[in-house]
Amino acid sequence: MIVDYDRGFTNGPPKEWKDEGRKYDGDKPKLHLLPPKSMLEIGKVLTYGAEKYDAENWRKVPDLQNRYASAALRHIFAHIDGEENDEETGLSHLAHAMCCLLFKLEDELIGKSEEERPREADSGKHPTRDSVTVDGKTYYQKGRVWNPEHLV
């Protein structure tokens, strides 16, 4: 039995469709539902950050979860106070806040996927997310919060 969730057929497509192409992706995320204008604004903020710092700089920020939560809230509070665009970039405070929240979500999802991934016992030299080195100083994570008090 063919199940095509996109078309709603459970007994196969109608006979007149035999020459039509098919794609069975009804169970996959419908990314076309993302609001395009908002995504464009988020892309502008990401481009600004990539040019100012580095495309992957956000991943290297110590205490990422706390710092991006604070940054997102600052942008949200500025928006609530009636400031539409960030003074430095001229871009939407809400787009900045969304970037911060996307960074937090990505970090969280990566952490969960790494926790689920089985570790090989051969070398013990697997990357971990419990420490980060910045400017020669190593910071250790305490729970899900980066704690700079635990320097090596």
Q: Is residue 77 part of a domain?
A: yes
Closest CA to 46 of 95, 2, 84, 90: 95
pLDDT tens-digit profile of 77-110? 999 999 999 999 999 999 999 999 999 999 999 9
Q: Is residue 20 part of a domain?
A: no
Q: Is residue 133 part of a domain?
A: yes
Confidence of residue 23 (pLDDT cuts 50, 70, 90): confident
Say what the alpha-carbon torsion angle 63, 90, 50, 36 is, to the nearest 10 degrees: 100
**Full residue range of the structural domain in which residue 134 is found:** 36-113+129-147
Q: Is residue 84 part of a domain?
A: yes
Using a pLDDT cut of 90, give the percent of the chain over it. 55
Q: Are 152 and 132 in contact (CB under 8 A)?
A: no
Q: Is residue 65 part of a domain?
A: yes
Number of domains in the chain: 1
Q: Is residue 60 part of a domain?
A: yes
Q: Is residue 108 part of a domain?
A: yes
Assigned token pair, 77: 């509070």
Q: Is residue 103 part of a domain?
A: yes
* pLDDT at residue 85, as a whole number: 98
